[in-house]
Amino acid sequence: QVLLVESGGGVVQAGGSLRLSCAASGLTFSNNPMGWFRQAPGKEREFVAAIGWNWNGIITAYSDSVKGRFTISRDNVKNTVYLQMNSLKPEDTAVYYCAARIAMYGSASREARMYDYWGQGTQVTVSS
C-alpha cells in the first residue's frame, strides 16, 4: 500500500518561509517522479513543482508563479520529498498536496492526471 504523508504546513507572514515534507512508503521511491500541487478555496488544483528525469538525468520543474522562490528536492535515504518555500505571498495560501508517479524514471510532469498517488494535503496560510 502506497502512503504519502505531508507535513510542515502552517501560518506564516508574507515574506516568510516554510519547508513542506512528504514521507513516502510502499514505493521504490528513488526512481519515482514526485510532484507538489496546491488548491486554494474556490480554485482548481494547480501544479507547483515536480522532480523527475529526462534523457540527461534528474530534472525539476516549477510553475511560473513559484519559480525562483520554491525549491523541490528529495532524500532517497529518507524516502522524502521536500518543498522549500521562500518569500511567501498571500496568494500562496492553499492546501498543498504531494503526489507520486508509478512510472520509473518518468518525467517531472506538470499534469495532475499523470500522478498515481496523492497525500492528504497540508494547509499553508500566508498572512499579509
pLDDT at 127: 97
- What is the secondary structure of 41-74 as a DSSP string? TTS--EEEEEEEEETTEEEEEE-TTTTTTEEEEE
Block mean pLDDT (10 aa), the chain, length 128 = 97 98 94 97 97 93 98 96 98 98 93 97 97
Q: What is the mean pLDDT of the chain?
A: 96
**Predicted local distance difference test score (pLDDT) of residue 128:** 92
What is the per-residue pLDDT for 26? 94
Q: How high is the pLDDT of residue 28? A: 87
